[in-house]
Structure 1
Amino acid sequence: MDKDVIDVNRVIWIVLDSVGMGAMPDAHLYGDVDTNTLGHVYNMNKGLSLPNLTKLGLGNIEGMQELDKADQPIGTYARLGELSKGKDTTTGHWEMVGIHTEVPFPTYPNGFPKEIMDAFEAAIGTKTLGNCTASGTAILDELGEEHMKTGYPIVYTSADSVFQIAAHEEIIPLEKLYEMCEIARNLLKGEHEVSRVIARPFLGTPGNFTRTPNRHDYAVTPPADNLLVYAKEKGLDVIAVGKIEDIFAGQGVTYATHTKSNEDGIKQTIDLIKKDSHGLIFTNLVDFDMKWGHRNDWENYGKGLEEFDRYLPEIMAAMKEDDLLIITADHGCDPTTPGTDHTREYVPLLAYSKQLKEGRDLGTRNSFADIGQTVCEIFGLQPLKIGESFYSQLSK
């Protein structure tokens, strides 16, 4: 390896879930023309205070017209296009580690077909409620009381490829809910293989239902040819923070911790940075997507970006000399659009190390897998089937 390239012992990889930065050229195929999650949130809030992201080069990324530019960015920066078909969480994260999804996971805007629901109800021994596309909180307001009266679980989906089952923990115990999810996971095969089955437990009374932290995801197992598996096989740490473990069905993960909020995820990541490890700390901050993007809450989306920016100096201070920080996203979810779906957008790439002599503009790149390919080169792992490494551009 070129002696001028930075030495890396550990990669701290943070995914700002849904923080896209402008429609991709094929966005019209997804109904997402003129979407721009980051730019529109910035404009709707009449500006945001993002001094640390700005310093890294966020505003200097190609196509990022709305944000301020840094005169001398300290980070290396780019925008990444998505090679895979789709715009969901699983597809985006899978591509980052080298998995090319050529056929999108199925979605069900009109609910699941009768043969699926009949088979599911027969397997669990009870009828169901819902079978529609809905917000996770709105569906509780609509059907929570009926669920408590009948004991029937609530089945719903979203713009994502998901089969979600909501149940009150005092009506259907967690163990039973998880069993129902496993039944659904085994049923949903072939053309109906959704990317995730999700248990959505809740508590409370009509008008005051709240989802509990006992959510559990049952994801499709990813193909074995991916960065996380290669890293684990080589004996590297693969530390998953937030829903990373769920997205990869635990595959290639050596340690996992789940989170209650963006702030909790940031704090847990900082604590992990301060400890000794060798390999990956892979974090997903889901509130941007789950709490604000899907709910068209551009105001709190902006506050969330400002919160992350405030924590950046603490993240960077905790880093060791041979740590590499990578900040990116997995898709867009523009909260200023009429719909609540994910949006087909470019995503930002920011890379920072205390060894970096100067930041560089890497322009527009073709795949999220450029990150994974870079990590493979850093650690001497088997190359991925897609993606182009930018390790040689990280000069000290």
Structure 2
Amino acid sequence: MVDRIVWIVLDSVGVGELPDAGRFGDEGSNTLVHTVQRTGIRLPHLAGLGLGRIQGVKGIEMPEQVSGIYGKCAEMSNGKDTTIGHWEMAGIHSPDPLPTYPEGFPEEVLQPFMERTGYGVLCNRPYSGTDVIRDYGAEHMETGKLIVYTSADSVFQIAAHEAVVDVETLYKVCSVAREILQGKHGVARVIARPFQGEPGKFTRTANRRDFSLDPPGPTVLDRAKEAGLDVVAIGKIEDIFNGKGITHAIHTKSNMEGVDVLLESMEWQGKGIIFANLVEFDSAWGHRNDVAGYARGLVEFDDRLPEILGKMRETDVLVINADHGCDPTTPSTDHSREYVPLLLYGHRLGKGVDLGIRSSFADIGQTLAELLGLQELPFGKSFAGLILPQSN
């Protein structure tokens, strides 16, 4: 029935605050709707799949007939970050939040880090990624000390000028940090943040790399790989899952490069999952409160959607969703606790089916497992029966 899943995560494109958003300081967040309302953009191809029909989504046109299946998902796990969001959509429930460090990292983390790497540390507190290199970049270049910082998310970030610490060395340093940050200090990601330029003109480069924890349980990616299917990871998917369940990985530096690689991968005639993350919504625009950039990114993706649909095979299923919000119109520059949109399309799927509100992102992974004939996952409720015509 279904041979291949083409799965796209529009990183941070949330569609409205979850009922518990107040606990996370995210009341009123609605990444997609606020961006559309502020800029007046049109997204006709996403609308054609049913985006405007999702409960609570406003400002998107609603054609009389849509070719896709639509709904939205709540996050059941205790978090609003990239790692927990992706893990949940792939079938893992995370009831306990990953550790965060609003006061910076303790000595029991920093001391072994400095001893094992031989580098001193600057900053060690929550900071904007662009501001931290502005404020500490010159001192880093003078002293050789690494800029270590965090955010509201569960991350240990290391910034270094590429002329001071080459990229491969920075990656090795991050690997050491990953080994240290386990157990109670097991942050979701250690992130290499290389930059370049001169004082007053520092810019981050595209050589970012994430070092994640292993997922704590089986995912739909693991199930697919175990069954002998291909799992192609595009963008930061390999990093998020720490390579688990991946057979091929292609790292990309922008949304549009990600779409290009996705289209190239769709030329492959195998069976399995092509899984892409388009990160610029989050990294380039959401965290920087760049509403115009966010809107432009949405339009750029919408413009490319016909190319993706045009390459769909008879036995393909397209899945589009997000992993959290990052509303660029609010004062916060952090992720927001939001519902995520869910759109599906396939030649053999029903049309215009309203999935309503799913109680967990994990329903996506469980559904994909059923569509591909894989072993059931421990968490999530499949909606495959709702989207497959009864005649099939």
Taking structure 1 as the reference length, the TM-score comes to: 0.96
Aligned pair 1:85/2:65, yes or no? no
> SS of the residue aligned with 2:302?
helix
In the alignment, is residue 22 of structure 1 matched against residue 16 of structure 2? yes
CA distance in 1, matches of 2:270, 2:201: 43
Whether 2:164 is the aligned partner of 1:163: answer no
Where has structure 1 moved over 6 Å in runs of 4 or more?
A: none
Quote the residue 2:342 is aligned against. 349
Q: Which moved more, 1:241-250 or 1:105-114?
A: 105-114
CA distance, structure 2, for counterparts of residue 357 and residue 283 of structure 1: 24
What SS is found at the alignment partner of 1:274?
A: coil
Other-structure match for 1:139: 132
Q: Retained in 2: the 8 A contact 1:60–1:70? A: no
| Deviation string, structure 1 residues 4-47 (Cα, Å, up to 9, x no partner) | xxx211000000000000011111111111111011111111x2
> Which secondary structure state, in structure 2, belongs to the residue aligned with residue 217 of structure 1?
strand
Contact 1:274–1:319 (CA under 8 A) maintained in structure 2: no
Q: 1:179 to 1:357 in 2, by over 3 A?
A: closer
Distance in 1 (CA, whole Å) between partners of 2:95 and 2:349 is 36
2:232 is equivalent to residue 239 of structure 1:
yes
In structure 2, the residue matched to 1:328 is: 321
Indicate the residue corresponding to 2:277 in structure 1: 284
Counterpart selection for 1:129 from 122, 125, 128: 122
CA offsets 1:62-97 (integer angstroms, 9 cap, x no match): 111332222111101011001111000000000011
Matching residue's letter, 2:372: F
Counterpart AA for 1:57: G
Counterpart contact for 2:92–2:217, Cα < 8 Å:
no
The equivalent of 2:375 in structure 1 is 382
User: CA shift at 1:123, angstroms?
Assistant: 2.3
Aligned: 1:12 with 2:18: no
| Whole-Å separation in 1 of the counterparts to 2:3 and 2:52 | 28
- Cα distance in 1 for residues equivalent to 2:162 and 2:309: 41
Query: Which ranges in structure 1 are unaligned for 5 or more consecutive residues?
Result: 1-6
Return the match for 1:148 from 131, 141, 152: 141
| % identical equivalent positions | 55
What displacement does 1:357 show?
4.5
Deviation (angstroms), 1:174: 2.6
Aligned-pair CA distance for 1:299: 1.2
> What do you get for the CA RMSD once the two structures are aligned?
1.2
Structure-1 residue corresponding to 2:35: 41
User: Are 2:93 and 1:100 aligned?
Assistant: yes
Q: Secondary structure at the match of 2:269?
A: coil
Partner SS state of residue 339, structure 1: coil
Aligned to 2:332: 339
Are the equivalent residues in 1 in contact too, given 2:367–2:381 (CA < 8 A)? yes
The within-5 A match list for 1:207-218 is 207-218=200-211
Contact map agreement 1:198 1:215 (CA 8 A) in 2:
yes
